[in-house]
Structure 1
Amino acid sequence: MMISQQYQDNIDIVLQKTEEAEAIVVGGASGMSAAAGYNWYRDDEMFRKYFDAFAKQYGIDSIFGGFYHKFCTEEERWAYLATLINFVAEVPVGEPYKDLEKILQAKEYFILTTNQDTQFLQVFPEEKVSAIQGDWTSIQCSGPCHDQVYPFVEQAKEMCDHMEGTKVPSSMVPKCSECGGPMELWVRSFVFLEGFKYRDEHKKYREFLLENQNKKVLFLELGVGRMTPMFIQEPFWNMTYSWPDAFYITINPNDALLPEQLKDKGLAIHEDIALVLRDVQAELEKDRKQGAV
């Protein structure tokens, strides 16, 4: 494949800013997992592999479509949710995440994500990641009547083992141990529990920003779309504008936006995230090997 000069120039800038940065703040959203082959909004081969029975039974055409589907019974709803949790737990870590890990080696970094698929948490230490929208592998009381989030991967696997068609046994539908009410996944919704764990996710992130705000900071935005710019994109823009030594890079094939005010402090790369991270990682690896000679 022919590489354009513009593309190579962009790779060189990413390399330069990564090397120069004293701290890197990564903002990862759904485009990052889509680049890894996990698209939550599309009826594709991966969706059919895990959710084909639900697609045929209910006309569901995406993972998110199933999450918001109005099932008639709790047995059907939890059959779908158990399948979703099992999917998240089973699928391998995507290549873009592995490449990002190598890029961040030996750097001071932190990751803010709105993704709920735990891909970042499977690669990076928990203390380096803030999942501010919850995750698909934990559950909470729907009340919520108490401040507790429960891991649910093992129970979900067992539910999948006992599933008949698109239903789980009534005895396996989770109930709150405190109030006896229904349980929900711990992800952004009208009943999302913004308790201790939620506050801790934000605390980790705030502390990293406070510790590094006077350093050369690179804000690296990966796959943020137009649905929720207020969580990652807009704060990144504001901090880049306000902090004298900050620089902003966004990589997104469709929604790489650079405000006019940041034209001298930012770069928008309209390319496939997986391709860019792969090439940046390869260049860094080559430079490291040459430096070791």
Structure 2
Amino acid sequence: MSIYENLVMQTQMNYSRYYGMYMAGKSPYKNSNKVIPYKEQIHIFAKQIQNAECIIVGGASGLSASGGGNFYYEDNESYRKYFKPFADKYHFKGAFAGMQYDFDTPNERWGYLTTFLHTTQTAPVRKPYIDLDAILNGKDFHILTTNQDTQFVKLYPEEKVSEIQGDHRFFQCSRQCCDDTWDAVEPVKKMYEAMTDGTFVPDELIPHCPHCGAEAFPWVRGYGNFLQGRKYDHEYQKMSKYLEKNKNKRLLFIELGVGRMTPMFIQEPFWHLTGTLPDAYYVSINDKYNLLPKEIEEKGIVIVDDIAKVLGDVRAVLEGGLE
């Protein structure tokens, strides 16, 4: 097991032990009560970027949501833009609701999966990601993400991104008959173009495993039998190798948009590493939760505000435009 995956496994046990506290939006750790004005926080963040020798970015769902990818949990304008036929027909209240629905036919199920995957595969890079890219310009960095929406891999080569929760560009066998993943982009494009009434995929286009003939399924955690094989291990190895190589340098951890359902993948490992590595610093941006363990309050800040706004302001400071 890689270094970083081991950290995740440890924090998952903590999550199970204090599940009720997490669901209440809290943390089992004693929280800092340090208060720093917003403008000062922005300048601290910018200074940490400048001083860092290496940066690890942890990108979670709140990052994509801040740029318009907020259609997963609610029936809003963004959801209706991409999923209107399903919202009208099935009355889903957000994209994730359809991922759990028991459709009458595989044709309808694949109509929904196709819409879901096509929406993220073809989405342009959202502005918060563009601002983050400008902030990271010229720095040595690695990306760790629980997002499956392909935003980071549209910006960076595969070796700079660890996608530990899967990727909408790949299929796996729904039965896990083999340790194999394969391209989903071209099949999704064909299914999307062939969908009748916007909700139904023809029989002949439904993807199947090339090894056993079972239906394929997106290579993503959360909706089915997520394949934790070679590709999964490789994603963790990329992160672990970067961490091992740079652990004694001035290392900045940037956490973006972690909620209370998945603190074990990014947030709590970042807390642990900030506390144990000699020259580490931690910056979190979150529009809901002000969580910073007291034991690392001198080595970190939490900026409670809109992620898109904060990244835009930090970019402006670094480019000399914000007083």
Runs of 4+ in 1 over 4 A off after TM superposition: none
Q: Determine the structure 2 residue equivalent to 1:25.
A: 56
2:176 to 139, 144, 148: 144
Report what 2:160 is aligned to. 128
Q: Which runs of 5+ in 1 are unaligned?
A: 288-293
Matches within 5 A, 1:211-290: 211-286=245-320
> How do 1:42-61 and structure 2 match up within 5 A?
42-61=74-93
Amino acid at match of 1:62: G
Identity of aligned residues (%): 49
> Which residue is equivalent to 2:221?
188
**How do 1:14-163 residues align onto structure 2 when only pairs under 5 Å count?**
14-39=45-70, 40-163=72-195
2:171–2:216 contact (8 Å) kept in structure 1: yes
Post-superposition offset of 1:48? 1.1
TM-score, scaled relative to structure 2: 0.85
Query: 2: distance between equivalents of 1:182 and 1:125?
Result: 30
Q: Which residue of 1 aligns with 2:30?
A: none
Partner of 1:172 in structure 2?
205
Letter in 1 for 2:219: W
**CA–CA separation in structure 2 for the residues paired with 1:162 and 1:118:** 23
Partner deviation per Cα, 1:224-279 (whole Å, 9 max, x = no partner): 11001000001000000101111111000102310111111110110111001001
Cα deviations by residue, 1:78-106 (Å, 9 ceiling, x for unpaired):
01111111111222111000011111111
Match of 1:256, SS?
coil
Letter in 2 for 1:64: F
Q: Distance in 1 between matches of 2:252 and 2:208?
A: 44
Q: Which of structures 1 and 2 has the larger relative contact order (alpha carbons within 8 angstroms, sep 6+)? A: 2
CA contact (8 A) 2:126 2:151 kept: yes
Residue 48 of structure 2: SS of its match in structure 1?
helix
For residue 210 of structure 1, report the CA deviation from its aligned partner: 0.3
Secondary structure (helix, strand or coil) at the match of 1:24 reads strand
**Aligned partner of residue 224 in structure 1, secondary structure:** coil
Stretch of structure 1 that moved more, 164-173 or 213-222: 164-173
C-alpha displacement at 1:59, in angstroms? 1.3
| Number of residue equivalences | 283
CA contact (8 A) 2:169 2:185 kept: yes
Q: Return the alpha-carbon distance in structure 2 between the equivalents of residues 103 and 256 of structure 1.
A: 23
Residues 101, 124 of structure 1: 8 Å contact kept: no
Task: Report deviation, 1:286.
Answer: 2.1
TM (norm. structure 1) is: 0.94
Asked if the contact 1:27–1:220 (Cα under 8 Å) also holds between the matched residues in 2, the reply is yes
How far 1:128 moved relative to its partner?
Answer: 0.7
The two structures, once aligned, show a CA RMSD in angstroms of 1.2
* Structure 2 letter corresponding to 1:121: V
Aligned-residue offset at 1:222: 0.3
Pairwise CA distance, 1:137: 2.3
Q: Helix, strand or coil: the match of 2:204?
A: helix
Instruction: Work out the CA distance in 2 between the residues paired with 1:218 and 1:150.
Output: 34
User: 268-277 vs 118-127, which deviates more?
Assistant: 118-127
Aligned counterparts of 2:184 and 2:206: Cα–Cα separation in 1:
12
Tell me if the contact between 2:187 and 2:207 (Cα under 8 Å) persists in the aligned partners: no
Q: Distance in 1 between matches of 2:156 and 2:291?
A: 27
